[in-house]
């Protein structure tokens, strides 16, 4: 069946490579949805009803609190587990046992970190992609290879940097993590930064920059300007927001901006460590 093969190839190329269930589900048979009958011709239509005063459809407080508890509970549990970890190894184990983020159930591996946790500089990306998910190591696909070359350009490599992501599980089809997923994972990446205690942070791409600095501007405005990340214990760490290597692969002309940001990082790192 060449068409089916082509369709599957198209899905795989688009990053849709994660079946959620073993057997396909016929959603049409499942949903007992009655389609509204087609509208009658204009002449046969009844006169337009006059607008009625809007009825407030407030949920009873009990329903509201039930709706908000599960997410709050997940964030609360994440905070509790993250703060109880006193080493990065413990944090990794706590994260591995945490079931509050749905991304865990579609990912193949937890992608915790790579590089040197003693390094003075920590790079934070958004979320693992396909290759990272398969190997359980951040930034090893095409964008990771570009990142390695960017490190080399300022005299760094994976023995002198620590690398992690705000989200440690691959979102299906590489979609952007939702704000809720980021908030559920926040206690873990904040604790990871606190325990690694780098002198400088580099946020790779808009979502990481926003998650670390609470900035609301887009990455093209943010990049190149030093910001701060305040740890949960109140320590201020300088953050350089820069362009994500995956974006640079798609927009090579923008590499000159990332180069400027990396030079700024190199100078600040030198001033802090020499
Ligand atoms: N993109 C990211 O943001 N993180 C990775 O680990 C890989 C690709």
pLDDT tens digit sequence for 67-121: 445 789 999 999 999 999 999 999 999 999 999 999 999 999 999 999 999 999 9
Is 73 inside any structural domain? yes
Q: Which domain holds residue 184?
A: 69-273
Rounded mean pLDDT of 146-162?
98
Q: Is 133 in the pocket of ligand 1 (CB under 6 A)?
A: no
pLDDT of 257-272, one tens digit each?
A: 999 999 999 999 999 9
In tens, the pLDDT along 24-59 reads 666 556 544 444 444 444 444 445 445 444 444 344
- Which residues does residue 227 pair with via DSSP β-bridges, in sequence order? 239
125 lines ligand 1 (CB under 6 A): yes
Q: Is residue 12 in a domain?
A: no
**What is the CA(252)–ligand 1 centre distance, in A?**
18
* Residue to mutate (ligand 1; options 107, 113, 131, 165; most atoms within 8 A of CB): 165
Number of domains in the chain: 1
Report pLDDT for 11: 66
SS3 171: coil
One-character DSSP codes across 65-112 = HHHHHHHHHHHHHHHHHHHH--SHHHHHHHHHH----THHHH-SS---
28 lies in some domain: no
Considering the domain boundaries, does residue 238 fall inside one? yes
Q: By C-alpha distance, which of 247, 237, 149 is closest to 207? A: 247
Contact 180, 101 (CB under 8 A): no
**Number of the ligand 1 atom closest to the C-alpha atom of 163:** 6
Q: The domain spanning residue 141 has which CATH number?
A: 3.40.470.10
* pTM for the model: 0.78
């Amino acid at each position: 069946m060449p068409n089916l093969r082509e369709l599957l190839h198209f899905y795989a190329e688009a990053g849709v490579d994660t079946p959620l269930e073993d057997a396909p589900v016929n959603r049409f048979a499942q949903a007992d949805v009655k389609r509204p009958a087609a509208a009658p011709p204009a002449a046969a239509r009844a006169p337009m009803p006059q607008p009625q005063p809007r009825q407030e459809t407030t949920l009873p407080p009990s329903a509201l609190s039930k709706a908000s508890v599960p997410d709050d509970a997940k964030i609360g549990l994440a905070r509790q587990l993250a703060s109880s970890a006193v080493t990065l190894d413990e944090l990794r184990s706590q994260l591995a046992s945490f079931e509050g983020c749905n991304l865990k159930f579609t990912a193949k591996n937890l992608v915790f970190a790579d590089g040197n946790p003693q390094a003075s500089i920590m790079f934070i990306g958004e979320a693992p992609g396909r290759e990272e998910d398969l190997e359980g190591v951040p930034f090893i696909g095409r964008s990771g290879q570009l990142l390695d070359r960017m490190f080399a350009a300022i005299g760094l490599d994976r023995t002198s940097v620590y690398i992690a992501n705000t989200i440690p599980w691959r979102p299906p089809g590489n979609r952007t993590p939702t704000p809720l997923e980021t908030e559920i994972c926040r206690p873990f990446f904040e604790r990871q930064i606190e325990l690694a205690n780098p002198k400088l942070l580099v946020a790779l791409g808009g979502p990481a920059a926003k998650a670390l600095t609470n900035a609301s501007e887009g990455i093209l405005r943010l990049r190149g300007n030093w910001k701060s990340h305040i740890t949960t214990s109140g320590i201020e760490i300088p953050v350089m927001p820069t362009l994500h290597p995956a974006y640079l692969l798609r927009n090579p002309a923008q590499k000159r901006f990332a180069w400027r940001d990396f030079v700024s990082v190199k100078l600040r790192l030198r001033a802090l460590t020499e």
